[in-house]
Amino acid sequence: MKRVLLSAMFFCMACLAAWADNPNPIAIIDTPEDSLSVEGSIEIKGIAGPSGGANLNDPKGWKLEYGAGDSPTTWTELTHGHSPVGLLPNTFAPFYTWDTTSVSDETYCVRLTVNDSEDKTATDTHKYYVSNGIQ
C-alpha cells in the first residue's frame, strides 16, 4: 500500500513540476468531446490555468465563446473569468452550461482562450453540431 501511495505522490509531484516549468497558460476543453452532435443544454468542462509562476488573477483571465460554422470569423462570449478553473493533471471543472436551443441547427465552434499576466495565450477549440430541430 505504501508503494502505491508513494508512486501516486511522485506522479502528482512530477505533474506539478511539469506545470511549474510550463511557459504557457493552459486551456483545455474536456467535455463534451470534440465533433459531437449536441442538443438542449450542454455542460462545458475543462481547465483554464496560468503558466507556471504566472498569476491568472488579473484583468486578462479566460473566456469561453462560440462561433457559427467550421471556421468562425465572429465569436459570441458565453462566459469569462479571472480565476483558474479545474486542476492539473485531470480535474476538469464546469465553465458554463450552454442552452443550445438559443441557436439554430448547424455546426458551431466553442473556443476557450486563456491569457496570463505575462501576456501569453493558450486556446482550445471544439466543434459541435447543434441538432435541436430549430431552423
C-beta of residue 89 within 8 angstroms of C-beta of residue 98: no
Distance CA 9, CA 3 (A): 10
Q: Look at residue 30 and tell me if it is in a domain.
A: yes
**CATH number of the domain encompassing residue 52:** 2.60.40.10
Evaluated on CA atoms 104, 109, 110, 113, the torsion sign reads negative
Model-level pTM?
0.79
Q: Look at residue 107 and tell me if it is in a domain.
A: yes
**What digits encode the pLDDT tens for the residues 75-123?**
999 999 988 888 766 788 999 999 999 999 999 999 999 988 778 899 9
At residue 29, the pLDDT reads: 94
**What digits encode the pLDDT tens for the residues 35-91?**
999 999 999 999 988 766 555 555 478 999 999 999 999 999 999 998 888 876 678
All three cell numbers of 119: 501576456
Question: Whole domain around residue 104: which residue ranges?
Answer: 2-130
Q: Look at residue 135 and tell me if it is in a domain.
A: no
Q: Look at residue 89 and tell me if it is in a domain.
A: yes
- Using DSSP, state whether 16 is helix, strand or coil: helix
**What digits encode the pLDDT tens for the residues 121-134?**
999 999 999 999 87
Residue of higher predicted confidence among 24 and 95: 95
The CA R_g of the chain, rounded to the nearest whole Å, is 17
